[in-house]
């Protein structure tokens, strides 16, 4: 963990935690790359690298395909969803320890949500394959018009009728930290995945950075006593 820590009274005030999905709860970025690569190969006739595909992220999959394939976006989206579903079987399990961490947070009466840039279709596939849907009362997917996580985080906070300082947002990219800080929630980096932007996350000065799920579990156990929220 980094030197800035949510401890004691401040930690105990956190009543809800919002998670990013890809690279935070699931090692699903390879699935995104694989799905887009096969779709763009079929419809555009060339091979895209992971770096090129990552540069397209921001809008949901629907938004990406509407921009790249305006006359074939519906057909290409269905192809992408099928490819994503097929590739997901290899990456279906959450990061080791994530399910235990979510279960412990639920036991400690911490409310849980997801805010992700994914579209509704791929979100449903990921939650079905991983079995994580049962933990989250709110799932906020992305927009075809571009990344807008601050607005989506705020929407969850408003649904909960909480203050921003009552909530933490956890993600694996600098943008996740920036989005949390823009809203005023506690910003927490999760850099336990091999696709995490570790240095960029730390450069944003989040309140916490966890390099392993085990550290995250220890933090939950220490700061959220049983029966408290």
Q: Note the pLDDT of residue 2.
A: 46
List, in order, residues 6 or more apart from 10 with CB less than 8 Å away. Answer: none
Minimal CA–CA distance to 22: which of 66, 103, 84, 77?
A: 84
Whether the pLDDT of residue 76 is over 80: the answer is yes
**Tens-digit pLDDT profile for residues 114-166:** 999 999 999 999 999 999 999 999 999 998 887 799 999 999 999 999 999 99
Q: How does the average pLDDT of the chain come out, rounded?
A: 91
Quote the pTM value. 0.90
**Tens-digit pLDDT profile for residues 101-116:** 999 999 999 999 999 9
Whether the pLDDT of residue 225 is over 80: the answer is no
Minimal CA–CA distance to 179: which of 135, 129, 117, 225?
A: 117
**Tens-digit pLDDT profile for residues 163-196:** 999 999 999 999 999 999 999 999 999 999 998 9
């Amino acid at each position: 963990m980094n030197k800035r820590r949510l401890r004691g009274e401040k930690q105990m005030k956190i009543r809800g935690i919002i998670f990013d999905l890809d690279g935070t709860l699931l090692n699903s970025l390879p699935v995104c790359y694989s799905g887009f690569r096969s779709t763009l190969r079929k419809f555009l006739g060339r091979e895209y690298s992971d770096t090129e595909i990552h540069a397209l992220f921001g809008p949901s999959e629907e938004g990406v395909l509407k921009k790249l394939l305006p006359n074939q976006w519906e057909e290409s989206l269905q192809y992408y969803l099928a490819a994503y579903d097929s590739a997901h079987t290899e990456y279906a399990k959450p990061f080791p320890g994530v399910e235990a961490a979510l279960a412990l947070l639920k036991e400690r009466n911490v409310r849980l949500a997801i805010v992700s840039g994914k579209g509704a279709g791929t979100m449903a596939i990921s939650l079905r394959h991983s079995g994580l849907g049962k933990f989250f009362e709110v799932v906020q997917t992305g927009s075809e018009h571009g990344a807008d996580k601050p607005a989506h985080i705020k929407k969850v906070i408003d649904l909960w009728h909480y203050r921003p300082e009552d909530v933490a947002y956890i993600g694996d990219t600098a943008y996740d930290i920036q989005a949390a800080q823009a809203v005023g929630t506690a910003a927490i980096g999760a850099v336990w995945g091999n696709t995490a932007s570790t240095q960029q996350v730390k450069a944003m000065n989040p309140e916490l950075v966890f390099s392993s799920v085990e550290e995250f579990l220890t933090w939950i156990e220490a700061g959220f006593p049983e029966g408290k929220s």
